[in-house]
Amino acid sequence: MNHLSRNPELPTPTTQKGARCEWREGPVDKSFDYFELRYGKAFEPGGWNEWIPIAIVGRMRKGLVNVQFLIDMADPPSAKIVDDAVKELNFYLAELNEADPWRYLQYHCGTESNVYSAVHWSFISGSTNPAEPQNIKSSDSQRKNLDASQSWLL
């Protein structure tokens, strides 16, 4: 066997499964990095500041992610928003099967699919100093994607 041969028992990048990840309702410590989910239409005035805050998603620990909902999940007018958010959480954290779901979600924050979705993800750097303002990392890239996607309107 030469040194370029692969061991058939070892997974290759194309066959390797992603990290097993599950989510549950629970508190999120915003002093660490997290994602914020908001609900709204990208092409309506106001954007991020006008969209409805849905949830914050904490850092993955041993394959488990806490999600702290910011809206009343039992409120009937919120049912569609909650349903859409749960579908996104299930897809990106459990079904997509990415090798590193946390990094993939950071990437997703700057994609057109995030802009066009009703549920918008934003990565927010945590702060160990409570007096330090939170830094939203994805808003510039979201704005660029939104501007680029609207260029055909000009």
The answer to the question of residue 14 being in a domain is no
- Ordered per-residue pLDDT tens for the chain, 154 residues: 433 333 334 333 333 456 668 999 999 999 999 999 999 988 888 788 889 999 999 998 888 999 999 999 999 989 999 999 999 999 999 899 888 899 999 999 999 999 999 999 999 998 755 444 444 444 444 444 444 443 333 3
Q: Strand, helix or coil at 139?
A: helix
What's the one-letter identity of residue 81? I
In a domain, 5, yes or no: no
Q: Which amino acid appears at position 149 of this protein?
A: S
Q: Indicate whether 10 belongs to any domain.
A: no
Question: 96 φ, ψ to 5°?
Answer: -65, -30
Do the beta carbons of residue 121 and residue 109 sit within 8 Å?
yes
Range of the domain at 112: 22-126+135-149
Q: Does a structural domain hold residue 48?
A: yes
30 within some domain: yes
3 belongs to a structural domain: no
Domain count, the chain: 1
Q: Single out the residue of 75, 73, 78 nearest to residue 25, CA to CA.
A: 73
User: Considering the domain boundaries, does residue 26 fall inside one?
Assistant: yes
Tens digits of per-residue pLDDT, 105-133?
A: 999 999 999 999 999 999 999 875 544 44
11: Cβ–Cβ under 8 A, 6 or more apart, which residues?
17
**Is 112 part of a structural domain of the chain?**
yes
